[in-house]
Chains A and B, each alone.
Chain A
């Protein structure tokens, strides 16, 4: 990439995404996403299913399905090359080492024919972060302990563990090499409510202990509120609003965020739940201009043009008719 592009990258950020666009054949699923995560910062990415949040994460990791392509720029601290379009050889050195991910479905995320210990140890052996098999194994015991699993879990096979236990194993192996950034994609959605809190707690503890940054993807506003410091709201493949969690959740500016908050019981003062009219369009079939205009009560003609971003990258929104800035 050119020198000019590099100047725009704030060197202090762990992750910097610029103009990320994801397409499948002729459909655009994610368009022009900018996002940064600072060191040790915990950032939430919220949106309904189909908003493109998971694709954004997979693009960062370079693990998009075969026919899906990403363009734009993704930079990670400590990695001297662009992640988008990097070849497998270079990407494989970044994945699991500087950048790790916890997926949504713990029941299928682990190899059913391999013992837990081997799967965790492998994560370290691939990158040579432990001198040998014995050291990796010892480290695996320690990692399991941190996620509150007994040492004999090492010899277990995935089918002998519950969903919550498996997700803790996935977390342990994601954190095995002390990554600079951990991405979690709906890590507790598939879990029982009772174990969700434990897993969330372990995730936060894990990243805090390593001073790692966290990009947390979810559709659950309550989870974002407990885990994250800053939040980005996605709709229709675009980031429509971003800001500190407290600010966005109490004083939303984008009309979609406003609707989303009203629809959840998080901050409602009146007991009656409201819903956003209409349905989320199928992926790749969002309207031009403001992607939310077909469901927005405030939409006018001007919304047919793409709304510009207002504010800074960390705190701002893209809406022609934002909600009042001042809380009344």
Chain B
């Protein structure tokens, strides 16, 4: 248990360092001059030189990297080349918005996928199971932004039940916050739910074939209670893995969905950064996204241990 924890933590730390190098190298080494990129091709050489001096872009790359990394660790994300504003507070604000969106999407995905996938598996030879399979297959094919557009058309335009876009912080107006969160969270959650449903189905199908489920039935448990008491936890192990991997998809899906619903999240910040050619901002946001994915995958790894006692070596 302890050994596993240490091992996982080491892997996480190495991954974080390597990915920070990758992100930095990609943004710093590959293209031309970030200052030139920020100011555009028409900028005068003097202006470019001035910007380079101001942000220390002439220093050796390792120095720049360690400055950047050290800043990140202290919570200092640097200053935008373009707006000259502190990046940190913006990233922090926007991150909360995206977090709400992703969490709500994840919850919806789970609420959809867990029962739907289980029914699909338990009734996989019956019409209801096949129908659900077909629906999930369709759901997988719909990208989140398209789902968003369709949901807007139905619930905002046609029925007028919910606002078509916008964002209100929960502290300001909780009612409006929820109303505006519903549609974007649904677009993320339904699509992700469709994908997750297929994993839940195959996990439950595997469990249904297990001998211990037959033992549970032989004890006198009916099919669904047997599956609930003895199957769910075992089926959860592979599903949790996928859930961790899907977080990356969900985060990136949020980037696009934020655009559809005009939500000031991390995705909008990233896209604005790209439009304004604000490379440091892009670099920071990408790093935050990657860190989020890696940390969640680390937590998922720990969750396995809680779910599967076989991984708790020497726990007796």
A and B touch in the complex (CB under 8 A): yes
Q: How distant is B316 from chain A, measured CB to nearest CB, in Å?
A: 5
Contacts of A117-146 to chain B: CB distance below 8 A: 122-123, 126-127
Contacts of B64-123 to chain A: CB distance below 8 A: none
Residue of B nearest to A176 (CB): B219
Residues of A within 8 A of B4 (CB): none
Q: How distant is B119 from chain A, measured CB to nearest CB, in Å?
A: 15
Known: A63-B214, A112-B212. A89 touches B234 (CB 8 A): no
> When chains A and B are docked, how far (Å) is the Cα of A67 from the Cα of B124?
12
Residues of A within 8 A of B229 (CB): 122
A298 interface hit (Cβ, 8 Å): no
Known: A105-B211, A122-B229, A160-B316. A112 touches B218 (CB 8 A): no
> When chains A and B are docked, how far (Å) is the Cα of A108 from the Cα of B215?
9
Residues of B within 8 A of A103 (CB): 211, 214-215, 218
Contact of A109 among B215, B234, B316 (CB under 8 A): B215
Q: How distant is B72 from chain A, measured CB to nearest CB, in Å?
A: 39
Q: Are A92 and B212 in contact (CB under 8 A)?
A: no
Instruction: Count how many pairs of residues, one from A and one from B, have CB atoms less than 8 Å apart in the complex.
Output: 77
Q: Interface of chain B, helix or strand or loop or mixed?
A: helix
> When chains A and B are docked, how far (Å) is the Cα of A89 from the Cα of B223?
10
Contacts of A40-72 to chain B: CB distance below 8 A: 61, 63, 66-67
B135 interface hit (Cβ, 8 Å): no
Known: A92-B222, A160-B316. A66 touches B309 (CB 8 A): no
Q: How distant is B2 from chain A, measured CB to nearest CB, in Å?
A: 18
B50 interface hit (Cβ, 8 Å): no
Q: Are A112 and B310 in contact (CB under 8 A)?
A: yes
> When chains A and B are docked, how far (Å) is the Cα of A66 from the Cα of B217?
14
Interface residues on B, range: 20 to 34
Residue of B nearest to A173 (CB): B219
> When chains A and B are docked, how far (Å) is the Cα of A113 from the Cα of B220?
19
Q: Are B234 and A111 in contact (CB under 8 A)?
A: yes
Residues of A within 8 A of B233 (CB): 113-114
B210 interface hit (Cβ, 8 Å): yes
Interface residues on A, range: 35 or more
Contact of A88 among B215, B223, B230, B308 (CB under 8 A): B223
Contacts of A152-177 to chain B: CB distance below 8 A: 155-157, 159-160, 170, 173-174
Residues of A within 8 A of B316 (CB): 155-157, 160
Q: Are A159 and B310 in contact (CB under 8 A)?
A: yes
Contact of B212 among A111, A126, A160 (CB under 8 A): A111
B59 interface hit (Cβ, 8 Å): no
Q: How distant is B121 from chain A, measured CB to nearest CB, in Å?
A: 12
Residues of B within 8 A of A105 (CB): 211
Residues of B within 8 A of A160 (CB): 316
Contact of B308 among A92, A97, A113, A170 (CB under 8 A): A113
Q: Are A109 and B211 in contact (CB under 8 A)?
A: yes
18 contacting pairs across A/B (C-beta < 8 A):
A61-B218, A67-B125, A92-B220, A92-B222, A94-B220, A96-B218, A101-B218, A103-B215, A108-B211, A109-B212, A109-B214, A110-B215, A112-B310, A126-B219, A127-B220, A156-B316, A157-B309, A159-B309
Give me the interface of B with A, judged by CB distance under 8 Å.
Answer: 125, 210-212, 214-223, 229-230, 233-234, 307-310, 316
Given contacts A95-B217, A110-B215, A156-B316, 14 further A-B pairs with CB under 8 A are A63-B218, A66-B125, A92-B220, A95-B218, A103-B211, A103-B214, A108-B212, A112-B234, A112-B308, A123-B220, A126-B221, A157-B310, A170-B215, A174-B218
